[in-house]
Structure 1
């Protein structure tokens, strides 16, 4: 069993991620987290069990201009999900769930 936890922001801005991680560790279940860093240019990094998708999305821009960064984030999530083949997904906010609804 391998679980993917998806958050729509940086780790420290996502409530309950540590609660899920602690429970998965107690149950000795393998997991990885996927987060979005909106303040760096586009690339994906991985440290141990955590992916960080870096796609710049400036705060305060119009909702229309946020569409392209969100679609780039969606594409990166889909690549990671295809690569890792998680058995279960935990989506910690609604918006990433909407973005990847076809996969879910």
Structure 2
């Protein structure tokens, strides 16, 4: 009977580990879900000005979107960042 309990316990542990591993693999984070965004209109792939901070991780990028200058601040590959907009920036009207 002792062997039977060990076999059942090992099977239960294996099933629990398999379910746990499957749950982690399905989550995968935002990087693993590239096409789960809202529908897209036009895409601007023109280069942006990038400012790399001395730590190499906290950076910002800026580019014009029509007459507005858009700044995106990000930290490495982390899941947070921020956006700031300067409306009617003179650098954007020269295009």
With the shorter chain as reference, the TM-score category is under 0.3
TM-score w.r.t. length of structure 2: 0.23
TM-score w.r.t. length of structure 1: 0.22
Q: Indicate the structure whose relative CO is greater, using CA pairs within 8 Å and at least 6 residues apart.
A: 1
